[in-house]
């Protein structure tokens, strides 16, 4: 069965059989699925039962007025592409039809191919509009605050800042280690700003060779330098009315920093090789994973540019600073990965969760997300994800003792949990070393066998 949405349907309402038939044949040969009605009553019945993409209606029908059919169709399906056909002398009525929502009118005799062309263009345009609206809705969902996971106080504070700052025009400087979500936050700000319908243009200062960065950012005219075979619009111009995201801003050379500062101050840019400057209206969001203030002190980052960018500072916490968000994040990414791979949902075992929480995640959420994808892939056939499904680096670490120099977060730690985790780690490591021999493991820890067994049972390691 062909899905209806793929074919474009049209209802032809015309009492002259020959003409109706010719229109139907012509439209069918252009890929429309044509239904026919000989009078207003039949047309009205059909319209009640089906949402046609297009309508061709004769204004003079034996049992009534084609205009009423048009009105009914437009009222029922406001996006319908309707054209009216009328005999010679019907121009005034045809104009009224346009006022009632028809997209065009044709005076008999008319060219069939012209009718097909008008309908096709209108239907395609409408589908495109709907698709765009759909895409925008998807983007809105993806970059809504709800899609940024985090319950920790630092994340709650971040959400408040985002809500406050997104609708404004102020420059934002996002600082955070790799994988903490800098780009996600930048896109979220854009999609929740009045600029959401315009572009979000990225510029990664670390990914573009220094010699090309200026032209990339500001554009160039044809022949501005060797290799500039045609003119190019820069990222600044592309982002007009939208948002320019300058990623890894610390990697910019000092000369480029000077040009960026000038552009931001003057709100205009000059393409390379041209003396005329162009005004722009953009919001800038910059991101860095290095401490810009330190670079300012060292003299590799301009102080004036730092202040220009750091109007609203947003500092993203590392994942190890918000360990209690791990169960939430784990559920989120496992759910996402199962859904994407068409698998039934899985849960993590307590042991797996414990491992996730004892790791320090140097690659932050990006590494965490990858680990969850890995775990789902390793447990395709099982409803639960256990420690064995986690990436090697986590499992290796579980055998190392909890570090006595571990960072103590502001909200403190659970002493009992940390100590039992350490006891558990030591016991497991010794059991592993002795191939499961409890007597030898106890000896390695200088514990009596009974104390050792007692601990095993209390910590539920046995
Ligand atoms: N709080 C969060 N909730 C859900 N997903 C997140 C969150 N933070 C980051 N992510 C996801 O983690 C991944 C990495 O995020 P992103 O690319 O924004 O990080 P980044 O800070 O720009 O990293 P880098 O410095 O390496 O460029 C993305 O897939 C992003 O969607
Ligand atoms: Mg990034």
We report the CATH number of the domain holding residue 360 as 1.10.8.60
Q: How far apart are CA 58 and CA 13, in angstroms?
A: 6
- Decide if 55 is inside a domain: yes
Domain extent, residue 297, equals 145-315
**Higher pLDDT, residue 306 or 429:** 306
Q: How confident is the model at residue 171 (pLDDT cuts 50, 70, 90)?
A: very high
Q: Which of 253, 158, 161, 236 has the alpha carbon at shortest distance from 199? A: 236
Q: How confident is the model at residue 175 (pLDDT cuts 50, 70, 90)?
A: very high
User: Same structural domain for residues 32 and 114?
Assistant: yes
* Structure confidence by residue, pLDDT tens digits, 430-450: 888 888 888 888 988 888 888
* Structure confidence by residue, pLDDT tens digits, 339-377: 999 999 999 998 899 889 989 999 999 999 999 999 999
User: Same structural domain for residues 379 and 445?
Assistant: no
The DSSP secondary-structure symbol of 232 reads: E
Backbone Cα Rg of the chain:
33
- Decide if 403 is inside a domain: no
* Structure confidence by residue, pLDDT tens digits, 368-398: 999 999 999 999 888 999 998 999 888 765 4
User: Same structural domain for residues 339 and 374?
Assistant: yes
Ligand 1 pocket check: which of 175, 335, 366 to mutate, most ligand atoms within 8 Å of Cβ?
366
Ligand 1 atom with the shortest distance to the CA of 184: 18
Q: Quick one: which ligand is closest to 181's CA?
A: 1
Please tell me the predicted confidence (pLDDT) of residue 330.
Answer: 95
User: Same structural domain for residues 185 and 262?
Assistant: yes
Q: How many domains does the chain have?
A: 4
- Decide if 426 is inside a domain: yes
- Decide if 140 is inside a domain: no
- Decide if 406 is inside a domain: no
Residues with CB under 5 A from ligand 2 (ion): 183
Q: HSE (CB half, 13 Å, CA atoms) of 161?
A: 18
User: Same structural domain for residues 332 and 365?
Assistant: yes
User: Same structural domain for residues 114 and 85?
Assistant: yes
Q: What is the mean pLDDT of residues 241-251?
A: 96
Q: How many A from CA of 107 to the centre of ligand 1?
A: 59
Please tell me the predicted confidence (pLDDT) of residue 6.
Answer: 59
We report the CATH number of the domain holding residue 230 as 3.40.50.300
User: Same structural domain for residues 120 and 191?
Assistant: no
Please tell me the predicted confidence (pLDDT) of residue 198.
Answer: 92
- Which residue's CA lies nearest to atom 26 of ligand 1? 178
User: Of 277, 297, 315, which residue is a domain's last?
Assistant: 315
User: Same structural domain for residues 237 and 117?
Assistant: no
Please tell me the predicted confidence (pLDDT) of residue 143.
Answer: 72
- Decide if 139 is inside a domain: no
- Decide if 404 is inside a domain: no
User: Same structural domain for residues 196 and 280?
Assistant: yes
- Which residue's CA lies nearest to atom 9 of ligand 1? 181
* Structure confidence by residue, pLDDT tens digits, 44-75: 999 998 889 999 999 999 988 899 999 999 99
Q: How many A from CA of 185 to the centre of ligand 2?
A: 10
Please tell me the predicted confidence (pLDDT) of residue 2.
Answer: 32
Among 183-192, 318-327, 408-417, whose mean pLDDT is lowest? 408-417
Q: HSE (CB half, 13 Å, CA atoms) of 341?
A: 20
Q: For the chain, report the end-to-end CA distance as a whole number of angstroms.
A: 59
User: Of 104, 134, 164, which residue is a domain's last?
Assistant: 134
**193 contact partners, CB below 8 Å, separation of at least 6:** 166, 167, 168, 243, 283
**Higher pLDDT, residue 420 or 203:** 203
Ligand 1 atom with the shortest distance to the CA of 289: 25
- Which residue's CA lies nearest to atom 23 of ligand 1? 179
Ligand 1 atom with the shortest distance to the CA of 148: 3
Q: How many A from CA of 184 to the centre of ligand 2?
A: 8
The answer to whether the beta carbons of residues 56 and 14 sit under 8 Å apart is: yes
We report the CATH number of the domain holding residue 423 as 1.10.10.60
Ligand 1 pocket check: which of 365, 368, 369 to mutate, most ligand atoms within 8 Å of Cβ?
365
- Which H or E element spans position 8? strand 8-13
User: Same structural domain for residues 167 and 247?
Assistant: yes
Q: How many A from CA of 347 to the centre of ligand 2?
A: 29
- Decide if 124 is inside a domain: yes
Ligand 1 atom with the shortest distance to the CA of 332: 4
Q: How many A from CA of 157 to the centre of ligand 1?
A: 18
Mean of per-residue pLDDT scores for the chain: 88
Alpha helices in 192-266 (DSSP H): 210-218, 235-238, 254-266
Across 40-112, the runs of DSSP E, i.e. the strands, are 54-58, 60-61, 64-65, 81-86, 104-107
Q: What is the mean pLDDT of residues 121-125?
A: 93
We report the CATH number of the domain holding residue 27 as 3.40.50.2300
Ligand 1 atom with the shortest distance to the CA of 183: 18
Q: How many A from CA of 247 to the centre of ligand 2?
A: 7
Ligand 1 atom with the shortest distance to the CA of 177: 25
How many C-beta atoms surround the C-beta of residue 51 within 10 A?
A: 12
Give yes or no for residue 22 having a pLDDT over 80: yes
Q: What is the pTM of this model?
A: 0.64
Q: What is the mean pLDDT of residues 168-181?
A: 96
Q: How far apart are CA 27 and CA 85, in angstroms?
A: 15
- The fraction of the chain above a pLDDT of 90, given in percent, is 58
Most confident of 85-89, 109-113, 179-183: 179-183
Q: How many A from CA of 115 to the centre of ligand 1?
A: 51
Q: How many A from CA of 181 to the centre of ligand 2?
A: 7
Please tell me the predicted confidence (pLDDT) of residue 425.
Answer: 81
User: Of 73, 103, 134, which residue is a domain's last?
Assistant: 134
User: Same structural domain for residues 186 and 119?
Assistant: no
Q: How far apart are CA 84 and CA 98, in angstroms?
A: 9
Give yes or no for residue 3 having a pLDDT over 50: no
Q: How confident is the model at residue 1 (pLDDT cuts 50, 70, 90)?
A: very low
User: Same structural domain for residues 436 and 366?
Assistant: no
Give yes or no for residue 233 having a pLDDT over 90: no
């Amino acid at each position: 069965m062909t899905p209806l949405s793929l074919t474009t349907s049209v209802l032809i309402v015309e009492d002259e059989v020959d003409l109706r038939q010719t229109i139907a044949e012509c439209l069918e040969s252009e890929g429309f699925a044509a239904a026919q009605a000989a009078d207003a009553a039949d047309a009205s019945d059909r319209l009640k039962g089906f949402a046609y993409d297009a309508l061709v209606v004769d204004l003079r029908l034996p049992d009534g007025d084609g205009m009423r059919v048009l009105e009914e169709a437009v009222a029922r399906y406001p996006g319908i592409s309707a054209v009216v056909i009328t005999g010679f002398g019907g121009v005034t009525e045809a104009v009224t039809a346009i006022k009632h929502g028809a997209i065009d009118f044709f005076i008999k005799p008319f060219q069939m191919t012209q009718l097909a062309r008008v309908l096709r263009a209108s239907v395609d345009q409408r589908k495109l509009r709907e698709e765009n609206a759909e895409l925008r809705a998807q983007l809105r969902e993806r970059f809504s605050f709800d899609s940024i996971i985090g319950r920790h106080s630092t994340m709650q504070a971040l959400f408040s800042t985002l809500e406050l700052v997104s609708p404004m025009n102020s420059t934002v400087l996002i600082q955070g280690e790799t994988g903490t979500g800098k780009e996600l936050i930048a896109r979220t700000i854009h999609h929740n700003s009045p600029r959401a319908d315009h572009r979000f243009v990225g510029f990664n200062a670390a990914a573009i060779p220094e010699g090309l960065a200026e032209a990339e950012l500001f554009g160039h005219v044809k022949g501005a330098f060797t290799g500039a075979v045609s003119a190019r619009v820069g990222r600044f111009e592309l982002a007009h009315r939208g948002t320019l995201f300058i990623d890894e801003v610390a990697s910019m050379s000092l000369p480029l920093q000077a040009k960026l500062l000038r552009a931001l101050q003057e709100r205009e840019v000059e393409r390379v090789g041209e003396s005329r400057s162009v005004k722009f209206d953009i919001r800038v969001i910059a991101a860095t994973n290095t401490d810009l203030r330190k670079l300012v002190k060292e003299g590799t980052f301009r102080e004036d540019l730092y202040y220009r960018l750091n109007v609203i500072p947003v500092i993203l916490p590392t994942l190890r600073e918000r360990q209690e968000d791990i169960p939430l994040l784990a559920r989120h990414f496992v759910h996402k990965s199962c859904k994407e791979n068409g698998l039934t949902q899985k849960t993590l075992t307590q042991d797996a969760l414990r491992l996730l929480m004892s790791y320090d995640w140097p690659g932050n959420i990006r590494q965490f997300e990858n680990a969850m994808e890995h775990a789902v892939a390793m447990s395709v056939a099982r409803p639960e994800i256990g420690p064995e499904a986690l990436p090697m680096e986590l499992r290796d670490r579980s055998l190392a003792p909890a570090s006595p120099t571990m960072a103590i977060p502001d909200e403190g730690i659970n002493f009992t949990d940390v100590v039992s985790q350490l006891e558990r780690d030591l016991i497991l490591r010794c059991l592993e070393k002795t191939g499961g021999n409890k007597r030898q493991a106890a000896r390695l820890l200088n514990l009596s066998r009974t104390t050792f067994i007692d601990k095993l049972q209390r910590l539920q390691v046995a």
